[in-house]
Every structure is written in C-alpha cells, then in structure tokens.
Structure 1
Amino acid sequence: AGSTALPFAEHLAAYPLHAHVSLLFVPILRRGEPIGVIEIASDNPMRAFDRQEVQLLEALANQGAIAYESISYHQREQRRLRRLERLQISSRNLSGQLNTRVLLDTIVREA
C-alpha cells in the first residue's frame, strides 16, 4: 500500500511560496490509493471554495478513476486476446504435425 500522507506535495511545488493563491486539490483514487490529482487554483488568496465546487471536483476525480480503470481493463483484455490468438495459431500448427521432432520444435518456437 502506498502512502497517502502528502499525495499533493509535488503539485504544491508548482506554486512558489510567495504566490498568493487559493488551491483546491482532490485525489483521484483507485482502490483507495491515489493515482493522480485534480487541482484548481484561484489567484485570489482569499478565495474559499464552496461545497458545491468541492463536490464537482470530487465527481470529476471519480470519473477519472473510472476511466483509468476502464482503460486498464481494456488493455488487459487486449493482452489476453493476443495470447489466445497465439495459442490458437499454435494449436492449428500442432494439429497438423505428425513427426514428434517437428512437433516439439514447433512447440518451442511458438511458446
């Protein structure tokens, strides 16, 4: 499990210490672990973000996490499909082999 103590520390570095801004950071979480950050800034240092703005940013962060999960799932399925295609080709090639030596060479070559 990763540390969630300061998930925004690297983002804070983008704002000089002397900058007078109001910042709002919301983590993008995947299974409870931060995978990114959505941030908004105001050049008004007295700006207070209201609950509706926080909720909107949280909703965007949730949508980002869902999109990330969807992309990850799609990539896993694509890898699985490629493995199955290779297996099917190997199976087709092997089904036509009668010579044991040629059969073993085919298995090694296509593994």
Structure 2
Amino acid sequence: MTQWVDAAALDDIEDEDVMRFDHDGRTFAIYRVNDAVYASDGLCTHEHVHLSDGFVMDYVIECPKHNGRFDIRDGRPLCAPVCEKLATYPAKVESGRILIEL
C-alpha cells in the first residue's frame, strides 16, 4: 500500500539542489529543479553512496564518488560507471510541504 509522506518544507531545499530524507529505515533523495520536486532512492546504484552529497544540474544528479549521473525524473543512468536504474517516486508540493509517495 502506498502513502504520501511529508518529507520536508519546500523552503528547506534550494532550486537545483538535493537533500537527504530518511524514513522507515530507508534513505531517499529529494530534488528541487525549476521549482518542481522529485524523489528517488537516496543511494547510488553503483557504490551505495548518498546522492544527497552529489551535484544537481538541470535534471541530473551526479554521484559524489565516481561521477556517475542519473536523470532525476525517471532514474535512468546517463553515464558510466552507473548502469542500473535508480528507483524514483512521485513527489508534489502541498501547502509549502514536499510530499513523496512511498
């Protein structure tokens, strides 16, 4: 069963940035790009490094360890060394709060 989870205030994250969100024993990454929000698993599929320490540009998150890149909109890998898709989750803003569907 899925549910919408309150993850953070929209003001907690700058545009073209990423933040870590831990919930129910799992780590997620929340992104803000062009005032839209996105969410994915928080660990890189290559070396399990926290993506919240990475760099966001446009709709791409770059892993801080080996510079692998993912499209944050659908999780597809964009360059080596990552080759496994990143799980993504629906995200939205309501009343200034970021909600993700888990």
More RCO (CA 8 Å, sep 6+): 2
TM-score, length basis structure 2: 0.26
The structure that has the greater radius of gyration is 1
Greater share of helix residues, 1 or 2? 1
TM-score w.r.t. structure 1 length?
A: 0.24
Comparing both structures, which one devotes a greater share of its residues to strand? 2
